Every structure is written in structure tokens, then in C-alpha cells.
A and B are shown apart, each in its own frame.
Chain A
Amino acid sequence: MFTQFAFASAESAVNRLLKLDSTAHARLAPLTGKVIAIACTAPAITVYLIPLEDGIQLAQQWHAPVDCRLTAPTTLLLKLLSSADKTSILHHPDVALDGNSALLMALAEILQSLELDWEYEVSRWLGPVPTALLSGHLRSRRDWLVQSAHSLHLDATDYLAEESRALVGRTEADMRFTEIDQLKLDLDRLDARIARLLKRNQKPL
């Protein structure tokens, strides 16, 4: 019953999030009634996702045919949820995908691209004016954090590459890599020439 409670709570949370995006239900409509099983190998747990008109049903077991089954360890499942390049993760040797993979990709795409209107939810509790003040403040804080992080990244790169010389700069590294590539090509050509000469010498005169 504890697992049932956990699933019920998770389902309620997911459906509340979906309600915050006014387009989510419309985008989920083509998947309605399909059964997607996500089997995690470590820890061993399977979650069934059934998109419905009013949200997503989560289940611990589902005694009906499954349209798509994804089997993978937790780390890869988390990567799949957050990564933009899902195809490369699906080709990982620890990942198994059976059935209609387009369903899974469509569901992941919808969940990843949710645009949550959290201001609406907050305004229901605080009212429109405090919500506008709060959201304005939070937006300016977020912009400041993004700018600061970007600036810190640039400064750190500059310091490590140019001042402390602890790392090689990108331009310098690119030049070195080009030289190494050229050297590798030259070596390959030399190898091929030596092999050809050896072959010619072995031929009877």
C-alpha cells in the first residue's frame, strides 16, 4: 500500500504540473490510452504511464498489452529525460526499447517542453498584485544569476588560459589539434607507402 500511496502522490504531482501548462493536455491527446512501460534495472522497478484526457495515470502494474517498453538503469533514464539528444542515449548498450518508440519520444518531448504558468497558481493564493511584484523580483534575480554565471565562466576561462597558464587556450588547442591531425595523416600515408614498398620487394623478380 505504501507503493500505491507513492504512485498516487507522484501522479497527483505530475497532473498538477500538467495543468500549469495550458497546451499540455492538447499535446497529450494523440497519446491517449497508450501504455508506456519504463523499467528501471537498478533499482528494479517498473512504472506504467498511461496518458489520458485529464492527465497521466501512473501505475505499478498494468494488466493490459504495453505499446512501448523502455528498459534502462536510472542514470540513463535521467539522462534521457534531460538530454536534448535522446537518440544517442537510446543506442546505449544498456538500453532496450521494444514497441513503438515514437510514443516514448513524443511523451518525453511533451514533458521536457512544459511551460509552467506558475504565476497563475501563485496568484490564486496571493492575489495578482503581490504575484506581479514577486515574479518581477524573481525574474530580475534569475537574470542576474544567469549573467553572473556567464561572466564567471568567461573570467575563469580567461584566467586559467591566459594568466595562470594552467590550461591551454581554445585557439591554441585547436591549432595543436590540427597539427596532430595532420601528423596522423602523414604517418598513415607513410605507413601505407612502406607497406606498398615491402609488398613490391617480396614479389619474385
Chain B
Amino acid sequence: MSNPRQPNSNEPTTHFGFQDVPESQKAEKVAQVFHSVAARYDIMNDVLSGGMHRLWKRFTIELSGVRRGNKVLDIAGGTGDLARKFSSLVGPEGEVVLADINASMLKVGRDRLLDKGVANNISFVQADAEKLPFPDNHFDVVTIAFGLRNVTHKEDALRSMLRVLKPGGRLLVLEFSKPSNPLLSKFYDAYSFKFMPLAGKLITDDADSYRYLAESIRMHPDQDTLKAMMSDAGFERVTFHNMTGGIVALHRGIKP
């Protein structure tokens, strides 16, 4: 009898950073990375981005068009930065769902939000972005910030997000992307492959996780490719906004 955890030689592979791994193993490997960094995720975000991640998320909120009474799904919500703001924007008559596939990240996010008194209109769901456990046409806005690159089958995840959105609903994908300036690109490469693992080693004693972070960013589709993927999944009026010279891009698509 074959072991289901043993990789099958015929199984399709996918990338995990710069490595090729069987598809069935990627989710587990990503989970290990996030279990490892969950406790210091916020500190590392601030250190590595110089606080810029707060401005990128702020721009995402501005473009979301979230109103009082809306239903919002924040996938890969991590420590709940977006969910917290959405919770106060939708008010008590609205609903926010913070979903993350990783139990450690979800626990950190839940504890952090509860400590800040965010509880009345928010729920926490451990869910896979490729198979979202929500009814069709349910949410007004779906966001995924710095999560899509860790998903094994991105096309399946985008279709799943389209399914749970109401017609006219908006998907916002905030993700690392490709710098538009070659000079910035060189600096960014040096920063990613030298400074990030070093900072990871010093702060979380885990250089490998931050090496994976840098590698996974390089393997993620660039702005135009992701835009095409969203259009192929069925989104309309897909646009993207580059931020910080294209290091991060915010894609937005509307469900027809």
C-alpha cells in the first residue's frame, strides 16, 4: 500500500521558493514557514518594509469602497491589520470574516483583535483559499494581502473568490510584484537576498523562512500576468496600481 505523504513520481510539481516540490507538499511547507514566523510576524513586517506595509494596506482600504453593512472576507488575513479596519468600517450591521489556512497565524490574529476589543462583527475561519467554505454570492468585498503567492493553485483560488463574491463585488489582491525601474530592481534583489534572511536570523532565529519569502516573491506572477489571470478567472474591469516603484502592486477586479 502506498504512503499518501510520500511524493508520487507522476505528481505535478510546483514551486516552493526556487525549489520544485510535489503539489501536495507545498501547503505543508508554507504552513511550516508561517508557524515559525507567526509570533513575530508584525515586528518583522515593520522591520523589513520600514513600516511601508501599513501604507500599502491603507491604500487597499481606500480602494475597497467598503461601506457600512457590507460583508467582507479577508483571506490570508494573518494578524488582522485589514480585518480590524474593515470591522470598524462595516459597523455592527456588517460582517467581517478573517480567514487563514494557517492555524498559528489565525490564532495570533484572533488574540490581537480580541485584545483591541474587535469582536462584535468579526469571525475567524481556518480555510483554504482554493476551496472557500462560504456560500455563492455572499461577500461585497474579498481581499487577500500578501497571501496569493503562497497558494498552490492560484487560478483555483481566484475562481473560488469569484464564486463567493456578490455580482458587483470587488476582489483586491495586494501582493509583492516586479519593480518597474531596473536600478531599483537591483537594489531590491540585494536587499531581499542579503538583508531579509539576515534580519530573519537576528529577530526570529529563522533565516530559511525569510529566504523563502524572498524567493517566493520572485516566483510570483508579475503585474500583467496576474491581471490576465484575474481576467481569465472571470473578473471584469481588472486594474492594478503599482506602489513603491512596483515592489508591491494592488490588483482590483469586479465580479460581473
- A→B interface (CB under 8 Å): 1, 4-5, 7-8, 32-33, 50, 52-54, 57, 59-65
Question: Is B52 in contact with chain A by the CB < 8 A criterion?
Answer: yes
Interface string of B67-92 (1 = CB under 8 A from A): 11000000000000000010011010
Asked whether, in the complex, the Cβ of A8 is within 8 Å of the Cβ of B58, the reply is yes
Cβ-neighbour of B68 out of A33, A57, A61 (below 8 A): A33
B64 within 8 A of A: yes
Interface residue tally for chain B (C-beta within 8 Å)? 19
Q: A52-B88, A62-B62, A64-B67 are in contact. List 14 more A-B contacts (CB 8 A).
A: A1-B55, A4-B58, A7-B58, A8-B55, A33-B67, A33-B68, A50-B89, A57-B89, A59-B61, A61-B62, A61-B63, A62-B65, A64-B65, A65-B67
Asked if residues B91 and A1 are in contact (CB atoms below 8 Å), the reply is no
Query: Which residues of A have CB within 8 Å of B64?
Result: 63
A7 to B62: give the CA distance in the assembly, Å.
12
CA distance A57 to B58 in the complex (A): 10
Are B65 and A1 in contact, CB atoms less than 8 angstroms apart? no
- Any chain A CB within 8 A of the CB of B39? no
Q: Of the candidates A7, A32, A59, which one forms a contact with B91 in the assembled complex, judged by CB atoms under 8 Å apart? A: A32
CB-based contact A54/B88 at 8 Å: yes
In the complex, whether B21 has a CB less than 8 A from a CB of chain A is no
Contacting residues, chain A, for B244 (C-beta < 8 A): 1
Give Cα A127 to B23, complex, Å: 60
Chain A nearest Cβ from B9, distance in angstroms = 48
